[in-house]
């Protein structure tokens, strides 16, 4: 179809899009990151520290907004004491948007005519939240049926700067032995040539070669990498 990209709703209506059917969130995140970096050049270490600071501030702001949202509760839908008590296990534990959606679905679950219909609710696809058919099964709605992304403690107790399931670094990383016997043999040859040198100048030459190699290794470390050269075009 020529204009397929204009029919987004038709293709995503049974996917978790959380009312996001455009790329505006990604573009906003990219813009925020670029603004935080300030420049497109610089050492890799400097850029990494700036990205870390930006992400830390993003997580802190997310936690703050979750806290503010969870402390409030919408008043568009008000229940009697019996049905209000069904929300006790999730009250102040989920964000306001999720709470409002659940209250709306709960209001439908107490209508017999609604429950008689076949479940074709899109809320469980679009927002991963339980529909009124599911809520009708519980006397008290458990927090376990609310996805983790809607919970207030979503970001608590987690280290977002650590790669999950990463291979641990050996404690004796500085004492790792050479991998191949060929490397061992090469080191032995260097020591042998140095010990059996015919003159002091020959030993100096071997030492200078080793020193040059070590400098090349140090120059290749990430913190010593230089950024690309910026070419400023002169107009006019």
Look at residue 161 in the predicted model and tell me its pLDDT.
47
Per-residue pLDDT reduced to its tens digit, 18-71: 777 777 878 888 888 888 887 767 788 888 888 888 888 888 887 777 667 666
Beta bridge mates, 94: 151
pTM over 0.75: no
Both tokens of residue 56? 């830390």
Does residue 151 sit in helix, strand or coil? strand
CB neighbour burial string for 34-65, b if at least 16 within 10 angstroms, e if fewer: eeeeeeeeeeeeeeeebeeebeeeeeeeeeee
% of the chain at pLDDT higher than 90: 0
């Amino acid at each position: 179809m020529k204009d397929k990209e204009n029919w987004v709703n038709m293709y995503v209506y049974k996917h978790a899009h959380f009312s996001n059917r455009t790329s505006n969130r990604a573009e906003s995140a990219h813009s925020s990151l670029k603004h935080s970096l300030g420049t497109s050049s610089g050492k890799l270490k400097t850029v990494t520290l700036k990205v870390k600071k930006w992400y830390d501030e993003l997580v802190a702001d997310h936690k703050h907004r979750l806290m503010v949202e969870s402390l409030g509760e919408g008043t568009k839908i008000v229940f009697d004491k019996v049905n209000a008590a069904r929300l006790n296990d999730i009250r102040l534990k989920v964000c306001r948007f999720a709470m409002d959606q659940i209250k709306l679905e709960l209001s439908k679950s107490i209508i017999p005519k609604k429950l008689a219909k076949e479940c074709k609710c899109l809320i469980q696809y679009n927002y991963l939240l339980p529909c009124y058919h599911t809520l009708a099964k519980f006397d008290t709605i458990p927090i376990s049926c609310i996805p983790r992304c809607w919970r207030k403690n979503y970001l608590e107790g987690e280290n977002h700067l650590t790669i999950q399931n990463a291979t641990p670094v050996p404690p004796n990383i500085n004492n790792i032995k050479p991998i191949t016997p060929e490397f061992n043999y090469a080191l032995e040859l260097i020591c042998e040539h140095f010990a059996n040198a015919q003159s002091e100048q020959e030993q100096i030459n071997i030492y200078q070669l080793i020193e040059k190699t070590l400098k090349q290794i140090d120059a290749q470390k990430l913190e010593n990498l230089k950024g690309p050269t910026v070419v400023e075009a002169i107009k006019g």
